[in-house]
Amino acid sequence: MKFNTLTEKYFKEEAWPSPETVAPLVNNDMMFITLYRELYYRHVHSKLKPTLEQRLEAYDNYIDLFETFSGVWM
């Protein structure tokens, strides 16, 4: 099964598991969590109606994402 198919089947009208729920499953790997948050918020924005808080969290994560990558490439 493809990723999009699984998302459509199980999370069509609800958010994916929160990044806080996923973190212990990936040993709190911050790079993974930052990338997961990006996908999480993209899903929320494309399939659900995000709250103001979720919009602000998505923006903060976007900044974290760029800071993470700038640290890796420098």
Q: What is the pLDDT of residue 7?
A: 83
Q: Can you give the pLDDT at residue 2? A: 82
Per-residue model confidence as pLDDT tens digits over 56-67: 999 999 999 998
As a whole number of angstroms, the distance between CA 20 and CA 8 comes to 22
Q: Long-range contacts of range 45-49, CB-CB < 8 Å, 24 or more positions apart?
A: 47/11, 47/12, 47/13, 48/13, 48/14, 48/15
What's the predicted TM-score (pTM) here? 0.83
Residue 8 lies in a domain: no
Q: Does residue 20 form part of some domain?
A: no
Q: Which residue has the higher pLDDT, 38 or 70?
A: 38
Residue 74 reports pLDDT greater than 90: no
| Number of structural domains found in the chain | 1
Is residue 7 in a domain? no
9 within a domain of the structure (yes/no): no
Q: Convert the pLDDT of each residue in 26-68 to its tens digit.
A: 999 998 999 999 999 999 999 899 999 999 999 999 999 998 8
